[in-house]
Amino acid sequence: MKKRALISVSNKENIIDFANNLTELGVEIISTGGTLRALKEAGIPAFPVDEVTGFSEILDGRVKTLHPLIHGGLLAKRSEAAHMEQLEANQITPIDFVIVNLYPFKQTLEQEGVSHEEVIENIDIGGPTMLRAAAKNYADITVVVDPADYSSVIENVRNNSLDTKKRQQLAAKVFRHTANYDALIANYFTEQTEERFPETYTITYEKAQNLRYGENPHQEAAFYRKPLSGGMNLATAQQLHGKELSYNNIQDANAALEIIAEYLESPAVVAVKHMNPCGIGVAETISKAFDRAYEADPISIFGGIVASNREIDEETAKELSKIFLEIVLAPGFTEKALDILTQKKNIRLLKLDMDTKKETTHKVTSVGGGVLIQTQDDGMAKPDELTVVTMRQPTEQELTDLLFAWKAVKHVKSNAIVLAKGNQTVGIGAGQMNRIGAAQIAIEQAGDKALESVLASDAFFPMPDTVEAAVKAGVSAIIQPGGSKRDEDSIKVCDAHNIAMVYTGMRHFKH
């Protein structure tokens, strides 16, 4: 019996060559709509699906392949005599190849100003149904959803090597593809109905690249990007120079972006090491901002990640080139800056949009047997939301420094303490098992700079020991969430030493 292929594709990349090869191999082709026209215009013999079904498409093309004479040819098991007898009794011809890709739902969502009606009309029904039917019956049918597979399929057919394993691999790709497609649709409808945590949570990602290894060399890893990802995020960055990013590079770079997003109003630079900031500087120019970030911790920045919220100019590039850095992220680089930085072979230079903050999203963390899902920590205290709990009010400069430090401590692993002064972090204590331990690290790092600095704590003080340590270091003002049963103990220490303390009413644990 002559073999038959059903071809119906929205993405017509390389479809003419593929169909021509099938025809040369003796395969007859049935097709639909625009695909059929394209094949005929190319001189490839093909006939319409409605000649098979005897039923013209209806409802503006919504129904054309949903017919027993099509799906019988897709779902019949060739090894089942009863199935083949039913095909013969109903004059149904088996279909051996299904080449289908779907209405461009994702591309429709990406269009600016697209209407809800246009989105709905780009939800494919017949395509996924044919794909799933053919993939279910992979033992007998070759199903191709990705144009990248056309050449290998033709080669396999020519060499008579299109075995069950190959067809199963193609079927697996189909089910991944339709799952991705359905997830996009599900997420669109979920967003439209404003459901934050529905009864099932469907996510999908598309592979950006394989990575050399994971967090450690014995771990395997890959980088997947979120479809329709927009705004300020690493998945949209353009790499201008340097070798491929590693797993740890991507983690650190993402942390740097999340921090720099807090300081978009003025020129700012963030240095990150192991997903914690090691220095943050804000100034009138990006060069001065880098100087402050560097001076905050000139040791830890070595081998770190630097993010700038302004274009890297020649002056800044000269300073960056003096130290070993893994990555520099910025909204741009001047030509002279690129000339300087590209002299360093291994540094990665990433350019990305920083005009648009990334959209609020869910944070997904895997645990054994499941995932934890929460909204992004977008909370940030404003001056009029602070409560002064001490006798002394903070000065205007202290208030500016307190808010600067509060933005920073939000991105430091808990328990977290940040000391800051003059738009610069001067000491950071991260990830300690107790708060006084984090404070001691930050104070030790700050040294003499702790004098007249401010202190930010990501959570309340369970006892006054952190405040007492701040007093000894010469800290002049403190910002913390408040809410401990022993808050009054810390307030008394502040009042006794003329320290201003404000409460935010909001904590920033980061595990």
The CA distance from 59 to 181, in Å, is: 23
The edge-to-edge listing of strands for the beta sheet with 4-8 is 47-48, 28-31, 4-8, 97-100, 142-144
Please report how the helices 150-158 and 15-24 are oriented relative to each other, as an axis angle in degrees rounded to 10. 10
Strand 370-375 vs strand 362-367: parallel, antiparallel, or unpaired? antiparallel
Q: Is 21 exposed, middle or buried (0-12, 13-18, 19+ CB in 10 A)?
A: middle
The CA distance from 427 to 438, in Å, is: 10
The CA distance from 184 to 229, in Å, is: 12
For 320-386, list the strands marked E by DSSP.
Answer: 325-330, 348-351, 362-367, 370-375
**What one-character-per-residue DSSP string does 87-137 give?**
HHHTT-----EEEE----HHHHHHSTT--HHHHHHT--SHHHHHHHHHHHT
Count of residues making up the chain: 511
Strand 28-31 vs strand 221-225: parallel, antiparallel, or unpaired? unpaired
β-strand partners of 374: 363
The CA distance from 215 to 217, in Å, is: 7
The CA distance from 417 to 435, in Å, is: 8
Per-residue HEC secondary structure of 135-177 comes to: HHCCCCCEEECCHHHHHHHHHHHHCCCCCHHHHHHHHHHHHHH
The residues annotated as belonging to the active site are 136, 274
